[in-house]
């Protein structure tokens, strides 16, 4: 019998601040219903100046290391598309922040929002070769778009850390994966830009095409039919995207998709993304956290996962929650992390946005203490990022 490999523990983090979409809509003179029901968003996480993808990653990973031990992960795979350096892996800052052993392999992965799924699959490969190994995957991103564009309402930020192991305590991954890649310019960020260039309508179309093809490949490899899944976790740049994608997938299989039928399989996956916004690589794994925390007893019931990263790569795969998984969840901590955010008004949000952009342009800075998180960016000094743990 082959040993099951999958997710052994999972923890999330988000930012210090939150902007309600109602405040954004009011300031812009936009109908609030466009955000609430049109894109399915209520709020988005906004980083404090002393937060970045490293501090979010450290906050997400620390509870996992506290539970399982610092020495456990042999490898840390950090997935991000909002990295802080072109050479050094952001994971290496975690090495000192989280006091990891020297005999750890650390690397950063990038392919837009898809990279955490690549990291998951690479982790599965390492565990298959040596089932004694545990691999820490961290998806961490800050989604920022140009102000006063249609994409502005789809910003957000968050991190999800998960431990991949043999005989997992939360969910076993099925071995079949459906893959899809295409060279498409729907969303990209050249090295000289702090924000992406995005063709919103093309990106939605590219996502739908990728979903259909990835599922077809999954089925051709012996994967389950759609009616076998208890829930569908989609990458959620905004939560209505999951509804668009699932409707498209059902209709491509000749099925009728009523709103009620869609909501039954999707609503439990959207609680976190609806109030956090797009967290790029972390978004799919926030959907997984959401369904595990809100989807009732899923023991033995397959959950579908659709990972999409612009550019574009998609993967359709599935996981099955194992007996006792609910005892491993961090549902209360997850809610507290989200509820602890401090609301900001539109004016303060714009100030933070511009200050954050200025920080990305270089120069020495000592940063004011803002975040209440256990890790913060204290300064930039001689082009070095100085972090502190508290």
The yes or no reply on residue 194 touching ligand HMG (CB under 6 A) is: no
Which residues have a catalytic role annotated? 81, 113, 235
The yes or no reply on residue 37 touching ligand HMG (CB under 6 A) is: yes
In the set 75, 82, 140, 310, which binds ligand HMG (CB under 6 A)? 310
Question: Quick one: which segment of 159-167, 201-209, 246-254, 267-275 binds ligand HMG (CB under 6 A)?
Answer: 201-209
The yes or no reply on residue 198 touching ligand HMG (CB under 6 A) is: yes
CA–CA dist 204, 88 (Å, integer): 32
The yes or no reply on residue 22 touching ligand HMG (CB under 6 A) is: no
In the set 12, 39, 56, 94, which binds ligand HMG (CB under 6 A)? 39
Per DSSP bridges, beta strands 73-79 and 105-109 are parallel
Q: Which is nearer to ligand HMG, 67 or 189 (CB)?
A: 189
The yes or no reply on residue 158 touching ligand HMG (CB under 6 A) is: no
Q: Which residues pair with 365 in a beta bridge?
A: 380
Q: Which is nearer to ligand HMG, 200 or 374 (CB)?
A: 200
In the set 178, 277, 309, 321, which binds ligand HMG (CB under 6 A)? 309
CA diameter of the chain: 61
The yes or no reply on residue 204 touching ligand HMG (CB under 6 A) is: yes
Closest distance of CB 196 from ligand HMG, Å: 7
In the set 27, 38, 42, 261, which binds ligand HMG (CB under 6 A)? 38
In the set 31, 85, 99, 182, which binds ligand HMG (CB under 6 A)? 31
Q: Which secondary structure element, helix H or strand E, spans residue 312, and what is its range?
A: none
Give the residue among 159, 32, 185 at the shortest CA–CA distance from 98: 159
Per DSSP bridges, beta strands 5-13 and 171-173 are antiparallel
The yes or no reply on residue 200 touching ligand HMG (CB under 6 A) is: yes
**C-alpha distance from residue 366 to each of 341, 379, 384, 386 (Å):** 23, 4, 12, 9
Q: Which is nearer to ligand HMG, 152 or 370 (CB)?
A: 152
Distance of CA 72 to the CA centre of its chain: 23
CA–CA dist 165, 282 (Å, integer): 19
To 5 degrees, how large is the angle CA 261–CA 262–CA 263? 95
Q: Which is nearer to ligand HMG, 145 or 375 (CB)?
A: 145
In the set 12, 44, 119, 151, which binds ligand HMG (CB under 6 A)? 151
The yes or no reply on residue 278 touching ligand HMG (CB under 6 A) is: yes
In the set 241, 262, 287, 329, which binds ligand HMG (CB under 6 A)? 241
Residue whose tokens read 């039919």: 225
The yes or no reply on residue 34 touching ligand HMG (CB under 6 A) is: yes
Residue whose beta carbon is closest to ligand HMG: 38
Say which DSSP state 53 is in: H
The yes or no reply on residue 234 touching ligand HMG (CB under 6 A) is: no
Q: Which is nearer to ligand HMG, 82 or 337 (CB)?
A: 82
Question: Quick one: which segment of 1-9, 117-125, 202-210, 325-333 binds ligand HMG (CB under 6 A)?
Answer: 202-210
Q: Which is nearer to ligand HMG, 172 or 287 (CB)?
A: 287
The yes or no reply on residue 248 touching ligand HMG (CB under 6 A) is: no
The contacts found for 325-328 with CB under 8 angstroms, 24 or more apart, are: 325/169, 325/170, 325/171, 325/292, 325/298, 325/299, 326/292, 326/297, 328/8, 328/9, 328/169, 328/170
List CB contacts of 7: < 8 A, sequence separation 6 or more.
162, 163, 164, 168, 170, 171, 173, 288, 319
To 5 degrees, how large is the angle CA 191–CA 162–CA 53? 30
Q: How many helices (H) and strands (E) does the chain have?
A: 12, 18
Q: Which is nearer to ligand HMG, 6 or 309 (CB)?
A: 309
- Rule CB under 6 A: which residues touch ligand HMG? 31, 33-34, 37-39, 81, 112-113, 150-151, 153-154, 187, 198, 200-201, 203-204, 207, 235, 237-238, 241, 278, 280, 308-310
């Amino acid at each position: 019998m082959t040993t099951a490999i999958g997710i052994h523990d999972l923890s999330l983090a988000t930012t210090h601040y939150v902007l309600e979409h109602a405040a954004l809509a009011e300031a812009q003179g936009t109908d609030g219903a466009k955000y609430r029901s049109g894109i399915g968003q209520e709020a988005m996480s906004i980083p404090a100046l002393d937060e970045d993808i490293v501090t979010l990653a450290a906050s997400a990973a620390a509870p996992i290391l506290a539970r399982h031990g610092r020495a456990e992960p042999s490898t840390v795979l950090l997935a991000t598309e909002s990295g802080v350096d072109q050479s050094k892996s952001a994971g290496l800052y975690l090495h000192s922040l989280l006091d990891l052993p020297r005999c750890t392999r650390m690397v950063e992965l990038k392919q837009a929002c898809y990279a955490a799924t690549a990291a998951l699959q690479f982790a599965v490969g390492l565990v298959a070769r040596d089932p004694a190994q545990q691999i820490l995957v961290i998806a961490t991103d800050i989604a920022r778009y140009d102000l006063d564009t249609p994409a502005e309402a789809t910003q957000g930020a968050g991190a999800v850390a998960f431990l991949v192991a043999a005989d997992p305590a939360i969910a076993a991954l099925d071995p079949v994966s459906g893959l899809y890649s295409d060279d498409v310019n729907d969303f990209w960020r050249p090295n000289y830009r702090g924000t992406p260039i995005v063709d919103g309508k093309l990106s939605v179309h590219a996502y739908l095409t990728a979903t259909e093809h990835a599922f077809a490949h999954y089925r051709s490899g012996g994967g389950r039919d759609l009616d076998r899944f208890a829930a569908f976790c989609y990458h959620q740049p905004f939560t209505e995207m999951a509804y668009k994608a699932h409707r498209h997938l059902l209709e491509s299989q000749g099925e009728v998709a009523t709103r009620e039928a869609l909501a039954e399989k999707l609503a439990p996956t959207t609680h976190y993304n609806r109030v956090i916004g797009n967290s790029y690589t972390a978004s799919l794994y926030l959907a997984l956290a959401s369904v595990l925390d809100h989807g009732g007893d899923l023991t033995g019931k397959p959950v579908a996962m659709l990972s999409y990263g612009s550019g574009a790569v998609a993967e359709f795969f599935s996981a099955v929650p194992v007996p006792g998984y609910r005892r491993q969840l961090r549902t209360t901590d997850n809610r507290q992390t989200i509820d602890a955010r401090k609301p900001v008004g539109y004016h303060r949000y714009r100030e933070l946005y511009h200050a954050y952009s200025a920080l990305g342009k270089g120069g020495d800075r000592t940063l004011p203490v803002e975040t209440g998180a256990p890790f913060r960016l204290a300064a930039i000094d001689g082009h070095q990022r100085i972090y502190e743990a508290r």
